[in-house]
A and B are shown apart, each in its own frame.
Chain A
Amino acid sequence: NAGVTQTPKFRILKIGQSMTLQCAQDMNHNYMYWYRQDPGMGLKLIYYSVGAGITDKGEVPNGYNVSRSTTEDFPLRLELAAPSQTSVYFCASTRDYPYEQYFGPGTRLTVT
Protein backbone atom coordinates (compact mmCIF):
# COMPACT_ATOMS: atom_id res chain seq x y z
CA ASN A 1 0.00 0.00 0.00
CA ALA A 2 1.21 3.51 -0.79
CA GLY A 3 -0.79 4.86 2.17
CA VAL A 4 -1.65 8.55 1.92
CA THR A 5 -0.07 10.39 -0.99
CA GLN A 6 -0.02 14.13 -1.60
CA THR A 7 0.96 16.18 -4.63
CA PRO A 8 2.70 18.47 -5.21
CA LYS A 9 5.43 18.41 -2.54
CA PHE A 10 6.23 22.11 -2.97
CA ARG A 11 4.47 25.01 -4.66
CA ILE A 12 4.94 28.75 -4.88
CA LEU A 13 1.84 30.79 -5.71
CA LYS A 14 1.37 34.43 -6.42
CA ILE A 15 -1.28 36.34 -4.51
CA GLY A 16 -4.67 35.83 -6.13
CA GLN A 17 -3.79 32.60 -7.91
CA SER A 18 -5.69 29.37 -7.33
CA MET A 19 -4.57 25.78 -7.03
CA THR A 20 -5.67 22.34 -5.97
CA LEU A 21 -3.73 20.20 -3.54
CA GLN A 22 -4.22 16.54 -4.27
CA CYS A 23 -4.64 13.81 -1.67
CA ALA A 24 -5.24 10.12 -2.25
CA GLN A 25 -5.32 7.05 -0.03
CA ASP A 26 -5.41 3.38 -0.96
CA MET A 27 -6.46 1.96 2.42
CA ASN A 28 -10.23 2.18 1.80
CA HIS A 29 -10.58 4.64 4.66
CA ASN A 30 -13.90 6.41 5.02
CA TYR A 31 -12.61 9.40 6.96
CA MET A 32 -10.25 11.97 5.45
CA TYR A 33 -8.91 15.26 6.76
CA TRP A 34 -6.98 18.32 5.71
CA TYR A 35 -4.75 20.12 8.20
CA ARG A 36 -2.43 23.07 7.97
CA GLN A 37 0.70 23.47 10.07
CA ASP A 38 2.27 26.88 10.50
CA PRO A 39 5.92 27.13 11.63
CA GLY A 40 6.35 26.12 15.26
CA MET A 41 2.66 25.47 15.65
CA GLY A 42 0.37 22.53 15.96
CA LEU A 43 -1.93 21.29 13.25
CA LYS A 44 -5.28 22.91 12.62
CA LEU A 45 -8.15 21.18 10.86
CA ILE A 46 -9.34 22.83 7.65
CA TYR A 47 -11.96 20.42 6.31
CA TYR A 48 -12.88 16.81 6.81
CA SER A 49 -14.99 14.12 5.21
CA VAL A 50 -16.68 11.08 6.74
CA GLY A 51 -17.35 9.45 3.40
CA ALA A 52 -17.74 10.05 -0.31
CA GLY A 53 -20.08 12.96 -0.93
CA ILE A 54 -19.94 14.22 2.67
CA THR A 55 -17.69 17.08 3.76
CA ASP A 56 -17.71 19.54 6.63
CA LYS A 57 -15.75 22.52 7.90
CA GLY A 58 -13.03 22.27 10.49
CA GLU A 59 -11.45 24.97 12.59
CA VAL A 60 -9.96 27.14 9.80
CA PRO A 61 -12.00 26.65 6.57
CA ASN A 62 -11.97 30.22 5.20
CA GLY A 63 -10.28 30.50 1.82
CA TYR A 64 -10.51 26.78 1.07
CA ASN A 65 -12.91 24.33 -0.52
CA VAL A 66 -13.04 20.56 -0.75
CA SER A 67 -14.89 17.84 -2.57
CA ARG A 68 -15.08 14.07 -2.05
CA SER A 69 -16.43 12.29 -5.08
CA THR A 70 -14.64 8.99 -4.37
CA THR A 71 -13.46 7.16 -1.27
CA GLU A 72 -9.85 7.45 -2.40
CA ASP A 73 -9.48 11.14 -3.24
CA PHE A 74 -9.94 14.31 -1.21
CA PRO A 75 -8.62 17.40 -3.03
CA LEU A 76 -8.26 20.78 -1.34
CA ARG A 77 -8.91 23.88 -3.42
CA LEU A 78 -7.37 27.26 -2.66
CA GLU A 79 -9.13 30.16 -4.32
CA LEU A 80 -7.50 33.60 -4.47
CA ALA A 81 -4.36 32.66 -2.57
CA ALA A 82 -3.24 35.01 0.21
CA PRO A 83 0.08 35.23 2.10
CA SER A 84 -1.75 33.98 5.21
CA GLN A 85 -2.16 30.64 3.44
CA THR A 86 1.58 30.06 3.41
CA SER A 87 1.87 26.84 5.36
CA VAL A 88 2.49 23.13 5.19
CA TYR A 89 -0.65 21.17 4.34
CA PHE A 90 -1.21 17.63 5.51
CA CYS A 91 -3.85 15.18 4.43
CA ALA A 92 -4.80 12.28 6.69
CA SER A 93 -7.17 9.35 6.66
CA THR A 94 -8.59 6.77 9.04
CA ARG A 95 -11.02 3.88 8.99
CA ASP A 96 -13.17 4.17 12.12
CA TYR A 97 -12.89 4.39 15.90
CA PRO A 98 -10.41 4.86 17.45
CA TYR A 99 -9.67 7.02 14.44
CA GLU A 100 -5.93 6.45 14.25
CA GLN A 101 -5.05 8.82 11.50
CA TYR A 102 -2.41 8.17 8.86
CA PHE A 103 -0.79 11.30 7.48
CA GLY A 104 0.63 12.06 4.08
CA PRO A 105 4.07 13.64 3.58
CA GLY A 106 2.69 17.16 3.21
CA THR A 107 2.66 19.97 0.66
CA ARG A 108 4.75 23.05 1.43
CA LEU A 109 2.97 26.10 -0.02
CA THR A 110 4.36 29.61 -0.23
CA VAL A 111 2.19 32.52 -1.33
CA THR A 112 4.08 35.67 -2.31
Chain B
Amino acid sequence: QQQVKQSPQSLIVQKGGISIINCAYENTAFDYFPWYQQFPGKGPALLIAIRPDVSEKKEGRFTISFNKSAKQFSLHIMDSQPGDSATYFCASVSGNTGKLIFGQGTTLQVKP
Protein backbone atom coordinates (compact mmCIF):
# COMPACT_ATOMS: atom_id res chain seq x y z
CA GLN B 1 0.00 0.00 0.00
CA GLN B 2 1.26 3.44 -0.87
CA GLN B 3 2.05 5.45 2.22
CA VAL B 4 3.61 8.70 3.27
CA LYS B 5 4.86 8.76 6.84
CA GLN B 6 5.16 12.13 8.56
CA SER B 7 6.85 13.15 11.79
CA PRO B 8 6.61 14.58 14.34
CA GLN B 9 2.90 14.54 15.08
CA SER B 10 3.20 17.83 16.97
CA LEU B 11 5.87 20.46 17.32
CA ILE B 12 6.33 23.46 19.59
CA VAL B 13 8.87 26.10 18.55
CA GLN B 14 9.79 29.48 19.96
CA LYS B 15 9.28 32.54 17.81
CA GLY B 16 12.31 33.01 15.59
CA GLY B 17 13.28 29.36 15.73
CA ILE B 18 13.45 26.75 12.98
CA SER B 19 10.59 24.28 12.52
CA ILE B 20 11.45 21.00 10.80
CA ILE B 21 8.92 18.42 9.63
CA ASN B 22 9.96 15.18 7.97
CA CYS B 23 8.25 12.82 5.55
CA ALA B 24 9.17 9.48 4.04
CA TYR B 25 7.51 7.80 1.09
CA GLU B 26 7.57 4.28 -0.27
CA ASN B 27 6.56 4.46 -3.91
CA THR B 28 9.34 5.54 -6.23
CA ALA B 29 6.72 6.38 -8.88
CA PHE B 30 5.65 9.47 -6.95
CA ASP B 31 6.65 12.46 -9.03
CA TYR B 32 5.60 15.54 -7.14
CA PHE B 33 5.84 16.40 -3.46
CA PRO B 34 3.70 19.26 -2.13
CA TRP B 35 3.28 20.59 1.37
CA TYR B 36 -0.09 21.90 2.50
CA GLN B 37 -0.85 24.27 5.36
CA GLN B 38 -4.19 24.09 7.14
CA PHE B 39 -5.58 26.53 9.69
CA PRO B 40 -8.42 25.46 12.02
CA GLY B 41 -11.77 25.43 10.25
CA LYS B 42 -10.22 25.95 6.83
CA GLY B 43 -9.32 23.78 3.89
CA PRO B 44 -5.69 22.88 3.18
CA ALA B 45 -3.77 25.37 1.05
CA LEU B 46 -0.71 24.61 -1.04
CA LEU B 47 2.38 26.04 0.65
CA ILE B 48 5.33 24.86 -1.40
CA ALA B 49 6.14 21.88 -3.61
CA ILE B 50 9.11 20.15 -5.21
CA ARG B 51 9.80 17.84 -8.13
CA PRO B 52 12.06 14.79 -7.59
CA ASP B 53 14.79 16.09 -9.89
CA VAL B 54 15.50 18.97 -7.50
CA SER B 55 17.20 18.58 -4.10
CA GLU B 56 16.04 21.83 -2.55
CA LYS B 57 13.47 24.54 -3.12
CA LYS B 58 13.14 27.75 -1.16
CA GLU B 59 10.28 30.22 -1.06
CA GLY B 60 10.72 32.96 1.49
CA ARG B 61 11.05 31.38 4.93
CA PHE B 62 9.95 27.96 3.69
CA THR B 63 12.37 25.39 2.27
CA ILE B 64 11.84 21.84 1.06
CA SER B 65 14.81 19.48 1.14
CA PHE B 66 14.47 16.34 -0.97
CA ASN B 67 16.56 13.17 -0.75
CA LYS B 68 15.57 10.87 -3.58
CA SER B 69 17.87 7.98 -2.62
CA ALA B 70 16.51 7.92 0.93
CA LYS B 71 12.95 8.56 -0.26
CA GLN B 72 12.61 11.38 2.24
CA PHE B 73 11.71 15.03 2.12
CA SER B 74 11.38 17.70 4.75
CA LEU B 75 9.95 21.15 5.34
CA HIS B 76 12.02 23.79 7.10
CA ILE B 77 10.38 26.95 8.37
CA MET B 78 13.00 29.56 9.18
CA ASP B 79 12.35 32.39 11.65
CA SER B 80 9.09 30.75 12.70
CA GLN B 81 6.28 33.15 13.59
CA PRO B 82 3.11 32.73 15.67
CA GLY B 83 1.14 33.15 12.42
CA ASP B 84 2.77 29.93 11.18
CA SER B 85 0.88 27.98 13.85
CA ALA B 86 -1.16 25.50 11.80
CA THR B 87 -1.27 21.88 10.74
CA TYR B 88 1.14 20.92 7.97
CA PHE B 89 0.66 17.98 5.65
CA CYS B 90 3.18 16.52 3.29
CA ALA B 91 1.86 14.69 0.28
CA SER B 92 2.93 12.79 -2.78
CA VAL B 93 1.27 12.82 -6.16
CA SER B 94 0.60 9.47 -7.71
CA GLY B 95 0.37 8.77 -11.42
CA ASN B 96 -1.49 10.80 -14.02
CA THR B 97 -4.68 11.26 -12.03
CA GLY B 98 -3.28 13.80 -9.58
CA LYS B 99 -4.29 11.74 -6.57
CA LEU B 100 -2.64 13.00 -3.40
CA ILE B 101 -1.35 10.60 -0.77
CA PHE B 102 -1.20 12.60 2.45
CA GLY B 103 0.97 12.22 5.50
CA GLN B 104 -0.73 12.17 8.89
CA GLY B 105 -0.08 15.84 9.58
CA THR B 106 2.02 17.87 12.03
CA THR B 107 0.47 20.42 14.34
CA LEU B 108 2.89 23.30 14.76
CA GLN B 109 2.63 25.78 17.59
CA VAL B 110 4.95 28.78 17.54
CA LYS B 111 5.17 30.44 20.93
CA PRO B 112 5.62 34.22 21.07
Give which listed residue, A41, A101, A103, contacts B105 with CB less than 8 A.
A41
Q: Is the CB of B43 within 8 A of A99?
A: no
Name the A residues within 8 Å of B100 (CB-CB). 33, 43, 45, 99, 101
Nearest 6 A/B pairs, CB to CB: A99-B98, A103-B43, A42-B102, A98-B32, A42-B104, A43-B102
Taken residue by residue from 88 to 112, chain A's Cβ proximity to chain B (1 for < 8 Å, 0 otherwise) reads as: 0010101011111111111000000
B89 contacts the other chain (CB 8 A): yes
CA distance A31 to B99 in the complex (A): 9
Q: Is the CB of B97 within 8 A of A90?
A: no
Q: Is the CB of A42 within 8 A of B43?
A: no
Name the A residues within 8 Å of B51 (CB-CB). 98
CA distance A101 to B93 in the complex (A): 10
Binding site for A on B (CB under 8 A): 6, 32, 34, 36, 41-46, 49, 51, 89, 93, 96-100, 102-105
Give chain B nearest CB distance to A59 CB in angstroms: 9
Give chain A nearest CB distance to B37 CB in angstroms: 11
CA distance A41 to B102 in the complex (A): 10
Contacts A58-B99, A101-B46 known; A42 to B32 CB distance under 8 Å? no
